[in-house]
Amino acid sequence: MALSALLVGCAAVDTVREAPESAGEQQYFEEGYERTVEAVAETLPLLGLEGIERQSTRPGTTVFIGTHESTIASWGEIVRVIVTELGTKRVSVRVHWRSYFRDGLITSAPDWVEEVFEGISEALN
C-alpha cells in the first residue's frame, strides 16, 4: 500500500513538472527578474513547501517545484512556479499545482495560487 502511494506521488510530481508552461494561473509583477526569482525562493519555504527544486530552463526563465506534506486537512500537494522575464522591469509568474490524490477526494488544501502570489507580493515590498 505504501509503495503504491509513493508511486502515485511520484507520478503526480512528474505530471506537474511536465505540464505545459501555460498550465495554472498567471500574475504579472513590475519588478526585475532576479528580484522576483529571489522573492519566490524566499516565499515557498515560508509557505511550508519542502524539497524545493530550482532550475533555469533557459535564459530569463526559472522553474521551482516543491511539495507540501500530507496533513490532517490535505493529502499533500505539488506546486510549480515559473518565473519568466518579460522586460527590464516586468515578469510573469505562473503557479500550477495539484494534490497527490486529488481525484475523488475532498480536502481543504490551501489555495496555493493565492498563497504564492500573496507571498511574492509581500517579499517584494
pLDDT score for 42: 97
pLDDT score for 107: 54
Pairing of strands 77-87, 50-58: unpaired
Residue with cell 524566499: 42
pLDDT score for 70: 65
| Averaged confidence pLDDT in the chain | 83
More confident residue, 79 or 15: 79
Choice among 10-14, 35-39, 118-122 with the minimum mean pLDDT: 10-14
Distance separating alpha carbons of residues 119 and 49, to the nearest angstrom: 12
Mean pLDDT value across residues 96-103:
72
Closest CA to 68 of 111, 22, 38: 111
Across the beta sheet with 77-87, the strand order is 25-29, 90-99, 77-87, 61-68, 50-58
pLDDT score for 124: 95
39 three-class SS: helix
Sign of the CA dihedral with 17 first, then 123, 119, and 32 last: negative
Give the pLDDT confidence of 41-95 residue by residue, as tens digits: 999 999 999 999 999 979 999 999 998 876 555 667 889 999 999 988 999 999 9
pLDDT score for 104: 47
Distance separating alpha carbons of residues 109 and 73, to the nearest angstrom: 6
